[in-house]
Amino acid sequence: MRAFQDDYPDEFSHCFGCGKRHPQGLRLRTFWDADDPERTLTRFTPAPIYSGGVPGHVYGGLIAALFDCHGTASAAAFACRLEDRPLAAIVRYVTASLKVDFLHPTPQDTELTLCARLIEHSGRKIRLAMELAAAGEIRAQAEMLAIRFRAPEMESGPR
């Protein structure tokens, strides 16, 4: 199955979290949820190097990075769906705002599941609600504002 990130152009595939061309990256892969078509999913099992201040638990910065990459990939996919464009025509979104609430410690020795739902789509802006779960429990929640990326050379007029 193709992930949303599989359709990123090579020049935008170097992200540490989700870039297929980053040699040491996490290489997150995001998909539509087969059980809920209004939701996206990413699964990731953290390596021991991502430990936090408490042994056996995930570093909060990694959790924020997972939300960041899952969210921007999800925003791009939701935009394709809402604008009736194929995923092969995916455009990149970047994070304008990311608010993370850490609800419970996240264990390191288990698969993490991230999901996202669309809250709002307005022009170049997409707002998402996200959750990260481990061992059947929601460990963190986030809200993201993502903006469609426009290369400076594509701009026609003042910003």
The tens digit of pLDDT for each residue in 118-128 reads: 999 999 999 99
Burial class (CB in 10 A: 0-12, 13-18, 19+), 13: middle
Secondary structure of residue 99 in the 3-state scheme: strand
Summary mean pLDDT of the chain: 87
Please tell me the predicted confidence (pLDDT) of residue 156: 42
Whole-number Å distance between alpha carbons of 159 and 157: 7
User: Rounded to 10 degrees, what is the CA torsion of 73, 95, 107, 35?
Assistant: -30
Q: Show me where the domains of the chain are located.
A: 4-153
Q: Quick one: average pLDDT of 10-25? A: 65
Query: Has residue 54 got a pLDDT over 50?
Result: yes
Whether CATH 3.10.129.10 fits 4-153? yes
What is the pLDDT averaged over residues 142-152?
88
